[in-house]
Amino acid sequence: MVEAGGPGDEALLHASERVRFRKIWLDEEGVLRGSGVLKPFPLGARRTRLTALFQLIQEILLQMAELDDHLSSLAEDVREIPPKEAQEAVYLLGTFYPRWDVSQRMRLLSAATLEEALRLLVSWLEEDLGRMELRARIHERVHERMERQQKEFFLQQQLQEIQRELGLTEEAEFQKLEEQIRAAGMPEEVQAKALQELARLRRIPPMSPESGVIRSYLDWLIALPWNRRSPDRLDLAHVRKVLDEDHYGLEEPKERILEYLASVKLKGEIRGQVICFVGPPGVGKTSLARSIARALGRPFVRMSLGGVRDEAEIRGHRRTYIGALPGRIIQMIRRAGVKNPLMLLDEIDKLGRDWRGDPYAALMEVLDPELNSQFQDHYLEVDFDLSEVLFITTANNPYAIPRPLYDRMEVIPIRGYLETEKFFIAREHLIPKKLQEVGLPRGAVRVTDGAVRRMIRAYTREAGVRELERQIRRLFLKVARRYVEEGKPVRITQRNLPEWLGVPRYEELRAETSLPPGVAYAMAWSETGGALLRIEVSLYPGKGNLILTGSLGDVMKESAQIALSLARTLMNQEKPGSTLDGVDIHIHVPEGAIPKDGPSAGLPIFVALVSAFSGRRVPGTVAFTGEITLTGKILPVGGLPEKLVAAKRQRMRTVYLPRANQPWLEEVPEGVREGLEVVFADSVREVLQALFGDRVFQQFRLPWSLQA
């Protein structure tokens, strides 16, 4: 029994043995009394197991003491208890361990055996140790984060002090930006806009996202060449020399370029039509623009428009969008570093239009000399003068360019190369260039003139020289391997060329003296240059049907129907009673995988039909082009230079053209017309008279007997 002393006295009780009370009461003096018997813990297991459990409790307490200093004394007291008195540890921990509630202490006190009590202690202490370790790890991470933040803050304070000592404070940075704005040579309204944005930047906290947007905007304004220009070298003799060095032939485009630059020199400024080079691939449109830039001494920048569908690619995005940038026009100007570069807009006919916008409409302002002096990019939101930029565009198909934009450009057609021109280009330009690229030393290979001509005729069939360049490179790569392995020089001739390049891809073109009845050649135009189409007509018993094959478009199908109706009309006029009611007519244009369309095949289809009806053969060296009407008139067609080049390449000797195209023949270079007999006609009767003589339908007959 312990009696309380004064009001401030305290008593520390330590249990020494477990007791089961039988009776508890309050005596007359208000003291709590009881009677009972001692109930020590039975062992419940061997001493060795109890000793192991007790040692585990000691180890756990030592680990907990390392994490919490308040448990150090309790862990030390338990460590001093001998293993054979393990129940003393149960009483000590049950009394003084601070984290257990009354229910846990009662459960420990009520354990049936000492082993059960020790196991409860191990379980509870391990749980508490896990919580303490987790709390320690969290505390450590928080502490590390706080230390890192304190370190960054300390370093930032040091950096600010260093900047202050060097005069690089934020205000000094703003002053530097203002000096750059005033020194950039901006127009007054642009400078006012930049200074207004700078004032906004001063008011915005440095960590605000808007601060980065404004800084990027000011960087763009400062970097643009508002008044930096490249001096022009408008020496026409020098320009002509550069153009001749870089390109063989192309006399008409060179003359047009010199005429344009002569006007520029007289006016003293470049304000006028935009040049547009139109021609098949591989004829030198892009390299011609690069040569002009080199001749004028202007920086050259190229922007490919193929596949561009978004108007923002031209005019930029507004700054409200994340990651917004100026359009590609302004980006090219910044890259050039001057406000008067030569800018090539390549493949302008390949632009696309969809729901995102119309790039053609955006280019209207860029290329219009009356509007581009005040071109406004959505990102900059200020005017930029593009009137001093020399714009050159290229296209394969001028018909794909919208008419309003087409009218803003001065179109310079570039025809395909003739065989003689390809030979000279290969000999003087491509072969030396590819020898250097492959790394073959001088004397390692010799290519004869015959081999070059066979390569042009049998391994390429194109308007330009791009495929020819690839074949030359392929040849030299094979030669390089042979030269490295054997170390012997190689001679390439017309005869051994297939050993290096394989089987010829195309048959060498030879003029035919005559064709089978019902066959004629048509001259056609395409984006890749001129071409010759073979028109074939076959007649056989049937129900009077017209069958058209060869991937023909609607316009070409209509031309075939017109040609058949006209042939029927003329045949009935010359030989009344002639009928085709029991005849099926099949018109086929070979290479059926290639789509074909246009009205200019009307005349050759008509000639092929007449040849089939009369059994008369058309010479294999004659080609035709022209749109026909139901009354027999021949209407003018386009693409005349390309068609004549194709006829020349295919070794035609005579071509029939609409008489209305006669003035256009002056635009065709003399080298193309040389060796070609050009026959003009107003009506199909003139063509029939020249080909077959009078009353060709009098000889109307069929391969079988269907007539009465």
SS3 506: coil
Judge whether 421-501 and 519-699 match in fold.
no
Helices (H), 224-280: 236-246, 251-267
> Residues 326-371: pLDDT tens digits?
888 999 999 988 988 989 998 888 887 766 677 888 888 888 877 8
Name the band, by pLDDT with cuts 50, 70 and 90, for residue 624.
very high
Domain boundaries, the chain: 47-133, 170-223, 236-413, 421-501, 519-699
What are 332's two structure tokens?
A: 């090219």
Token pair of 277, please? Answer: 């080079």
Continuous segment of H or E residues that includes residue 533? strand 529-541
Quick one: which of 607, 629, 634 has its CA closest to 618? 607
Give the pLDDT confidence of 409-427 residue by residue, as tens digits. 888 888 778 777 888 889 8
What pLDDT, on a 0 to 100 scale, did the predictor assign at position 705? 45
* Residue 480 in tokens: 């390089």
Tens of pLDDT, residues 76-119:
878 888 877 777 878 788 777 888 888 888 888 878 888 888 88
**CATH topology assigned to domain 519-699:** Ribosomal Protein S5; domain 2 (3.30.230)
Packing angle, helices 328-336 and 209-223, rounded to 10? 60
Element at 574 (helix H, strand E): helix 554-574
Q: What is the pLDDT of residue 163?
A: 58
Q: Is the pLDDT of residue 707 over 50?
A: no
> DSSP string covering 609-660, please?
HHHHHH-PPPPTTEEE--EE-TTSBEE--S-HHHHHHHHHHTT--EEEEEGG
Q: What is the pLDDT of residue 2?
A: 47
Report CA 315 to chain centroid distance, whole Å. Answer: 18
Q: Are 411 and 419 in contact (CB under 8 A)?
A: no
304 SS3 class: strand
pLDDT at 1 over 50: no
- In one-letter notation, the amino acid at residue 577 is G
Q: Is the pLDDT of residue 300 over 70?
A: yes
Sign of the C-alpha dihedral, residues 451, 457, 461, 462? positive
Pair of tokens at residue 367: 């290329």
The DSSP bridge partners found for residue 35 are 23
Q: At 141, phi and psi to the nearest 5?
A: -65, -40
Tens-place pLDDT, residues 21-74: 778 878 777 787 877 777 777 777 777 888 888 888 888 888 888 888 888 888
CA–CA distance, 273 with 266 (Å, rounded to integer):
15
Q: How many whole angstroms separate alpha carbon 109 and alpha carbon 15?
A: 11
pLDDT at 663: 87
Does residue 209 surpass a pLDDT of 50?
A: yes
d(C-alpha 625, C-alpha 317), whole Å = 49
What fold, for 236-413?
A: Rossmann fold (3.40.50)
Contacts of residue 91, Cβ cutoff 8 Å, sequence gap at least 6: 14, 15, 16, 17, 18
Q: Taking the mean position of all CA atoms in its chain, how far away is CA 575?
A: 63
By annotation, the residues acting in catalysis are 600, 643
549, β-bridge pairs: 588
SS (H, E, C) 321-367: CCCCCCCHHHHHHHHHCCCCCEEEEECHHHCCCECCECHHHHHHHHH
Instruction: Report the pLDDT averaged over residues 447-475.
Output: 88
pTM for the full model? 0.64
- Tokens representing 644 are 């004549």
Confidence (pLDDT) at 568? 85
At residue 169, the pLDDT reads 58
CB 638 within 8 A of CB 570: no
Can you give the pLDDT at residue 629? 93
- Buried-exposed string 579-589: b where 16+ CB fall within 10 A, e elsewhere: ebeebebbbeb
Q: List phi, psi (to 5°) of 530.
A: -75, 160
Range scoring the smallest mean pLDDT among 247-256, 276-285, 421-430? 247-256
CA distances for 43 relative to 17, 86, 398, angstroms: 14, 10, 105
Residue 282 CA to residue 473 CA, distance in Å, equals 16
Measure the CA–CA gap between 307 and 647, rounded to whole angstroms: 33
| Poorest-pLDDT segment among 88-102, 113-127, 145-159 | 145-159
Architecture of the domain spanning 421-501: Orthogonal Bundle (1.10)
Q: 407 phi and psi, to 5 degrees?
A: -70, -20
Share of the chain above pLDDT 70, in %: 90
